[in-house]
């Protein structure tokens, strides 16, 4: 952003210190002007532009000394500096910068109490601004680094109503700046702040009398100092001071819904979906783990148990067979086979101990092993020694009696063990089936749940998005039809709401543009009507030369002149309706029409003006009036009579002035009151004898009220002096030169209409009085 | 364009109110005065003295607002008087004849003394 002082001419002028401030600087003895400038010049870049559309906007700035603000309607709603009153100065439109810095009317906030302060004192002042309205945007630098002051502002403010913001601080004082002590230090009572009426700003105090804006408490005692409230904004609401008021510096508060960007919403949706998929994966993994556990139990425990049980039984059967063979055949190989089986069954039994872990299995296994040991004892201690002694038949009988019963026990126990393993196997298979069914069910449920949640999310999010967009589409269509009033209510707290906010602003802007266009159109029509009513040319007569001039400040104006020549008389009206713009133009039109109509009915000037006044009093509002000069000039004699109805007096430029004295003077005749307000405005006439060569100057107050840049009016004295000085010129040249002179005085800025009619009396032709005209009179007139 | 405002302080006196506009009273600012006068009538306190010493400039719109105020106040059974010492305004009153129908005085008290009886 360009430095304001360089880019905006009008604003730069406003930045010059007011006299009061300079006086203050002088009394407190602060450093020289250039040092103060060095500190304050960065502040001038610190400009807040606020755009709004529906009910007031706000202003904030560095909070230290001053800030400039662009605003449109309802401007500063409530501006409370921390402890001092704040002056609000209207700048009007500032358009000089390129590109336009303030395309709209701007305000300047200026706190006179802070003007002379430095350092900590100044920084401790906090400008608190209450925002009202839904559509605000701050455009400006986020930070401004100053030698002793750092200010910060948000790039964008929230759209909530009643948001508050505190700006400005001195580093180190962020946290504990208390309002009340500061207010006390300023001599202000915080309690008074609490009593501030809504929509008012305190602008000062009075000591002896109570003051207040409309609605203030007028019953309070008169002898106490009372705050003065200045009403700000129109029709907007204000949060009462102290209601959740911001106290911390650099803290931003808003009271609306939580803001969540659309981006985060979408990302959040994806994260949720991914979480669901992750959950699904985890459940699946857990179920497969459980199934594998069951499988492990089947294949690692039950099946080997069966095998081992069978192997033990088989081994003992084989041992029994090998011993029998040995006893019958006496072959040593069969004895060795028995020994080998005994070794192997020991290994198998030890494996079986590791496999069987239930008490029942262990008991059966122990019994089986014990039966095996009995068998081995019988064989090794009885059967084989008997066989070695040679009594093989006795050994065989012994084996058949004792050994077979042991082997039968072993087979029985082995059978029981296998049954237990069969049961374990069957149980595990059932478990496996159950687990599989459960896994499928859980998987199905989780999948359905995830799909439902996903669908729900998709429906809700898309519906919210689409709802908002539908509203926007409808509103856009309405705009296309020329309807700018369609309300958009989107509170999603995301970019769609942002879009809606901007769209609403655009609606308001378009509506305003339409209204302006309509207004311009109406203004054009009004101007056309007025142009047709106003006299386009003046009548030419041999006796007078008329030099008219009319310049309107706007498209329509409140000034007019009207000249009528009949019956050897010239009736001249120069009028000025009160106000400006269309209101004044209407009043002027009504007054002009009334005077013309009454003149048409005949009668002298008094009767005409009196009847026209009556008509205007009845027809116009009490604030409207018109000032008029009604002048009758008898062409044959130069006798002029006039009625001054609240108008600036006519001026007469005599052709033959004295050598030293002025050649012109105001015609200070009797003065009457304005038309359109008084029942009896007075009808006293003035009269003057106009000599050939004399000029009557009729004009409106725009000439006298032209203002210089210093605010000084052009005034009657300058006007009379200029007329007299320029009197040497002819009528038209005189008027042109006078316009130039007034323009120079006002530096080209004339706010009011300018109207002038110079009536130069040339003199009656010879033989004019009472004679028929011959057509040669003009050659005999006296110039 | 937003309506510009003129600061108007209101004081209470014995039986009437005193309006003290501070700033130019012209076509751009006169709405504020008009609004305040309207409220005075609504609040049934139609006796008002307008102190013009804080008004550096007043044009025909400002005068129109005063004249309209007088008319409306009188219709409501009250009156509007003007306290003014500024030559420029007094001249405007004199030229237009406004001063002949309305109480205009240098001080508020004198102006209030000239209230027309209802």
Does any CB of chain B come closer than 8 Å to the CB of residue A66?
A: no
- Strand, helix or coil at A79? strand
CB contact under 8 A, B10 and A214: yes
Please answer whether residues A109 and A90 qualify as being in contact, where contact means their C-beta atoms are separated by less than 8 angstroms.
Answer: no
Does the pLDDT value for residue A390 go beyond 50?
Answer: yes
Q: Give the pLDDT band (50/70/90) at residue B105.
A: very high
Q: Which residue's structure tokens are 């060569």?
A: A693
- Cα gap B25→A587, rounded to integer Å: 20
> For residue B70, which residues of chain A lie inside 8 Å, CB to CB?
622
Q: Which of A129-143, A329-343, A353-367, A684-698 has the lowest mean pLDDT?
A: A129-143
**B13 located within any domain:** yes
Q: What is the mean pLDDT of residues B19-48?
A: 87
Does the pLDDT value for residue A620 go beyond 80?
Answer: yes
pLDDT given at position A131:
29
Please answer whether residues A107 and A90 qualify as being in contact, where contact means their C-beta atoms are separated by less than 8 angstroms.
Answer: yes
pLDDT given at position A650:
93
Q: Which residue's structure tokens are 């669901």?
A: A276
- Cα gap A287→A282, rounded to integer Å: 9
Q: Give the pLDDT band (50/70/90) at residue A489.
A: confident
- Cα gap A699→B10, rounded to integer Å: 38
Does the pLDDT value for residue A523 go beyond 70?
Answer: yes
Which residue in chain A has the smallest CA separation from B36? A214
At A19-42, the pLDDT tens digits run 333 322 222 233 445 544 554 444
Does any CB of chain B come closer than 8 Å to the CB of residue A648?
A: yes
Q: Which of A108-117, A127-136, A286-295 has the lowest mean pLDDT?
A: A127-136
Q: What is the DSSP string of A151-197?
A: EE--SS----TT-EEEE-B-TT-SS---HHHHHHHTT--HHHHHTPP
Does the pLDDT value for residue A191 go beyond 50?
Answer: no
CB contact under 8 A, B10 and A206: no
Q: Can you read off the two tokens belonging to residue A502?
A: 């901007």
For residue B52, the enclosing domain spans: 7-113
**SS3 of A750-766:** CCCCEEEEEEEECCCCC
Task: Please report, for residues A34, A51, A133, A338, the alpha-carbon distance to residue A512 in angstroms, rounded to integers and kept in the order given.
Answer: 44, 14, 17, 117
Does the pLDDT value for residue A118 go beyond 70?
Answer: no
CB contact under 8 A, B34 and A672: no
- Cα gap A558→A530, rounded to integer Å: 10
Does the pLDDT value for residue A122 go beyond 50?
Answer: no
pLDDT given at position A675:
92
Q: Which of A487-491, A612-616, B90-94 has the lowest mean pLDDT?
A: A487-491
> For residue B72, which residues of chain A lie inside 8 Å, CB to CB?
622
- Cα gap A372→A366, rounded to integer Å: 10
Which residue in chain A has the smallest CA separation from B28? A580
CB contact under 8 A, B2 and A74: yes
Residue of A585, A646, A667, A755 best to disrupt the B interface, most CBs of B under 10 A:
A646
CB contact under 8 A, A579 and B40: no
CA angle A765–A768–A773, rounded 5-degree value: 95
CA angle A74–A77–A82, rounded 5-degree value: 155
**B27 located within any domain:** yes
pLDDT given at position A16:
28
- Cα gap A196→A217, rounded to integer Å: 10
**SS3 of A689-754:** ECCCCCEEEEECCCCCCCECCCCCECHHHHHHHHHHHHCCCCHHHHHHHHHHHHHHHCCCCCCCCE
Does any CB of chain B come closer than 8 Å to the CB of residue A669?
A: no
Label residue B31 exposed, middle or buried (CB < 10 Å: 0-12, 13-18, 19+).
middle
Higher pLDDT: A355 or A223? It is A355
Q: Give the pLDDT band (50/70/90) at residue A260.
A: low
- Percent of chain A with pLDDT strictly greater than 70: 63
Number of domains in chain B: 1
**SS3 of A204-268:** EEECCCCECCCCCCCCCCCCCCEEEEEECCCCCCCCCCCCCCCCCCCCEECCCCCCCCHHHHHHH
Which residue in chain B has the smallest CA separation from A220? B12
CB contact under 8 A, B10 and A211: yes
Q: Give the pLDDT band (50/70/90) at residue A767.
A: low
pTM greater than 0.80: no
pLDDT given at position A34:
59
Q: Which residue's structure tokens are 């009556």?
A: A614
Of B3, B7, B95, the CB nearest to A671: B95
- Rg of chain A, C-alpha, whole Å: 56
> For residue A700, which residues of chain B lie inside 8 Å, CB to CB?
none
pLDDT given at position A135:
26
Q: Give the pLDDT band (50/70/90) at residue A272.
A: confident
pLDDT given at position A458:
80
Which residue in chain A has the smallest CA separation from B20? A211
Please answer whether residues A663 and B110 qualify as being in contact, where contact means their C-beta atoms are separated by less than 8 angstroms.
Answer: no
Cβ neighbours of residue A348 closer than 8 Å, sequence gap 6 or more? A308, A311, A312, A315
> For residue A674, which residues of chain B lie inside 8 Å, CB to CB?
96-98
**B1 located within any domain:** no
Higher pLDDT: A607 or A283? It is A607
Identify which of A35-44, A212-221, A600-609, A649-658 has the greatest average pLDDT.
A600-609
Residue of A209, A229, A622 best to disrupt the B interface, most CBs of B under 10 A:
A622
Of B1, B12, B27, the CB nearest to A580: B27
Instruction: Give the CB-side neighbour count of residue A232, counting CA atoms within 13 A.
Output: 33
Of B12, B39, B64, the CB nearest to A218: B12
pLDDT given at position A657:
61
Q: What is the mean pLDDT of residues A156-184?
A: 32
Q: What CATH code is carried by the domain that includes residue B100?
A: 3.30.750.24
Of B7, B34, B36, the CB nearest to A214: B36
Does the pLDDT value for residue A311 go beyond 70?
Answer: yes
Of A210, A230, A622, the CB nearest to B67: A622
- Please count the residue pairs, one from chain A and one from chain B, whose beta carbons lie less than 8 angstroms apart: 106
Nearest alpha carbon to residue A148 among A117, A177, A175, A179: A117
- Percent of chain A with pLDDT strictly greater than 90: 10
Task: Please report, for residues A84, A108, B3, B113, the alpha-carbon distance to residue A87 in angstroms, rounded to integers and kept in the order given.
Answer: 10, 8, 17, 34
Residue count of chain B, please give it: 118
Q: What is the helix (H) or strand (E) element at residue A77, kind and residue range?
A: none
Average pLDDT, chain A: 67
CB interface of A with B, residues 134-193, below 8 Å = none
**B49 located within any domain:** yes
> For residue B98, which residues of chain A lie inside 8 Å, CB to CB?
646, 673-674
Q: What is the mean pLDDT of residues A93-122?
A: 36
Q: What is the mean pLDDT of residues A135-146?
A: 32
Residue of B10, B32, B58, B92 best to disrupt the A interface, most CBs of A under 10 A:
B10
- Cα gap A680→B94, rounded to integer Å: 16
CB contact under 8 A, A681 and B97: yes
**B12 located within any domain:** yes
Q: Which residue's structure tokens are 């205007």?
A: A616
Q: Give the pLDDT band (50/70/90) at residue A539.
A: confident
**B71 located within any domain:** yes
pLDDT given at position A259:
54
Task: Count the Cβ atoms, other than its own, within 10 Å of residue B47.
Answer: 20
Which residue in chain B has the smallest CA separation from A648? B95
Q: Give the pLDDT band (50/70/90) at residue A766.
A: low
Does the pLDDT value for residue A547 go beyond 80?
Answer: yes
pLDDT given at position A8:
28
């Amino acid at each position: 952003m360009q430095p304001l002082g360089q880019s905006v001419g009008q604003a730069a002028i406003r930045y010059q210190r007011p006299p009061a401030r300079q006086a203050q600087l002088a009394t407190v003895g602060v450093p020289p002007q250039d040092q103060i400038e060095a500190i304050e010049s960065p502040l001038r870049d610190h400009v807040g532009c606020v755009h709004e559309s529906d009910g007031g906007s706000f202003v904030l700035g560095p909070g230290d000394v001053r800030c400039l603000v662009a605003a449109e309607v309802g401007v500063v709603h409530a501006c409370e500096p921390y402890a001092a009153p704040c002056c609000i100065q209207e700048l009007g439109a500032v358009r000089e910068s390129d590109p336009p810095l303030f395309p709209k009317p701007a305000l300047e906030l200026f706190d006179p109490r802070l003007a002379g302060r430095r350092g900590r004192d100044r920084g401790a002042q906090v400008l608190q601004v209450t925002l009202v309205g839904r559509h605000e945007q701050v455009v400006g630098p986020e930070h401004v680094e100053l030698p002793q002051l750092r200010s910060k502002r948000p790039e964008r403010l929230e759209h909530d109503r009643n948001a508050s913001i505190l700006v400005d601080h001195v580093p180190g004082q962020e946290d504990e700046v208390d309002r009340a002590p500061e207010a006390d230090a300023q001599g202000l009572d915080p309690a008074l702040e609490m009593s501030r009426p809504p929509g008012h700003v305190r602008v000062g105090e009075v000591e002896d009398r109570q003051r207040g804006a409309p609605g203030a408490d007028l019953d309070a005692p008169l002898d106490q100092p009372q705050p003065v409230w200045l009403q700000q904004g129109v029709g907007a609401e204000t949060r009462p001071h102290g209601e959740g008021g911001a106290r911390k510096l650099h803290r931003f508060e808003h009271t609306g819904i939580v803001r969540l960007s659309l981006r985060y919403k979408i990302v959040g949706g994806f994260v949720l979906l991914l979480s669901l998929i992750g959950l699904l994966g985890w459940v699946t993994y857990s179920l497969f783990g459980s199934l594998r556990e069951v499988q492990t139990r089947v294949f690692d425990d039950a099946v080997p148990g069966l095998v081992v049980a069978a192997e033990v039984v088989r081994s003992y059967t084989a041992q029994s067979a090998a011993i029998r063979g040995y006893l019958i055949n006496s072959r040593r190989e069969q004895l060795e086979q028995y020994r080998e089986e005994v070794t192997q069954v020991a290994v198998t039994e030890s494996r079986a101990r590791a496999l069987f872990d239930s008490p029942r299995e262990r008991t059966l296994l122990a019994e089986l092993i014990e039966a095996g040991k009995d068998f081995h004892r019988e064989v090794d201690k009885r059967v084989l020694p008997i066989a070695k002694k040679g009594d093989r038949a006795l050994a065989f009988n012994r084996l058949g009696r004792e050994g077979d019963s042991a082997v039968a026990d072993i087979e029985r126990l082995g059978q029981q063990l296998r049954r237990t393993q069969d049961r374990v196997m069957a149980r595990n298979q059932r478990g496996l089936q159950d687990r599989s069914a459960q896994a499928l069910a859980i998987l199905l449920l989780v999948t359905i749940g995830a799909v439902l949640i996903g669908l729900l999310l998709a429906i809700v999010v898309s519906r919210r998005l689409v709802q908002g967009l539908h509203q926007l589409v409808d509103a856009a269509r309405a705009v296309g039809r020329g309807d700018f009033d369609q309300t958009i209510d989107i509170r999603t707290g995301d970019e769609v709401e942002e879009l809606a906010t901007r769209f609403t602003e655009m609606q308001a802007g378009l509506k305003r543009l339409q209204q302006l266009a309509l207004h311009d159109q109406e203004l054009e029509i009004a101007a056309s009507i007025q142009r047709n009513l106003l006299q386009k040319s003046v009548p030419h007569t041999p006796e007078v030369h008329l030099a008219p001039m009319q310049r309107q400040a706007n498209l329509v104006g409140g000034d007019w002149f009207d000249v009528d020549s009949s019956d050897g008389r010239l009736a001249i009206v120069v009028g000025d309706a009160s106000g400006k713009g269309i209101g004044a133009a209407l009043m002027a039109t009504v007054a002009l029409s009334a005077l013309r109509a009454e003149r048409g009915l005949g009668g002298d000037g008094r009767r005409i003006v009196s009847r026209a006044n009556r008509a205007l009093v009845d027809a116009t509002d009490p604030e409207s009036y018109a000032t008029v000069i009604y002048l009758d000039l008898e062409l044959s004699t130069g006798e002029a009579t006039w009625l001054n109805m609240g108008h600036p007096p006519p001026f007469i430029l005599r052709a033959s002035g004295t050598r030293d004295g002025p050649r012109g003077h105001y015609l200070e005749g009797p003065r009457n009151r304005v038309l359109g307000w008084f029942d009896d405005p007075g009808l006293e006439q003035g009269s003057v004898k106009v000599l050939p060569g004399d000029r009557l100057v009729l004009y409106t107050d725009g000439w006298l009220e032209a203002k210089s840049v210093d605010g000084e009016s052009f005034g009657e004295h300058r006007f009379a002096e200029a007329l007299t000085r320029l009197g040497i010129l002819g009528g038209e040249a005189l008027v042109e030169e006078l316009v130039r002179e007034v323009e120079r005085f006002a530096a080209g800025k004339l706010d009011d209409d300018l109207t002038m009619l110079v009536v130069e009396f040339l003199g009656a032709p010879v033989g004019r009085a009472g004679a028929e005209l011959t057509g040669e009179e003009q050659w005999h007139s006296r110039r | 364009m937003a309506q510009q405002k003129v600061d108007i302080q209101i004081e209470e006196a014995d039986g009437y109110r005193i309006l003290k506009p501070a700033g130019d009273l012209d076509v751009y600012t006169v709405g504020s005065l008009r609004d305040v006068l309207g409220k005075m009538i609504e609040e049934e306190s139609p006796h008002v003295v307008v102190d013009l010493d804080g008004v550096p400039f007043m044009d025909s719109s400002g005068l129109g607002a005063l004249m309209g105020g007088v008319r409306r106040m009188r219709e409501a059974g009250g009156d509007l008087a003007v306290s003014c010492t500024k030559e420029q305004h007094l001249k405007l009153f004199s030229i237009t004849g406004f001063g002949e129908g309305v109480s205009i005085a240098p001080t508020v008290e004198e102006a209030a003394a000239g209230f027309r009886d209802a």
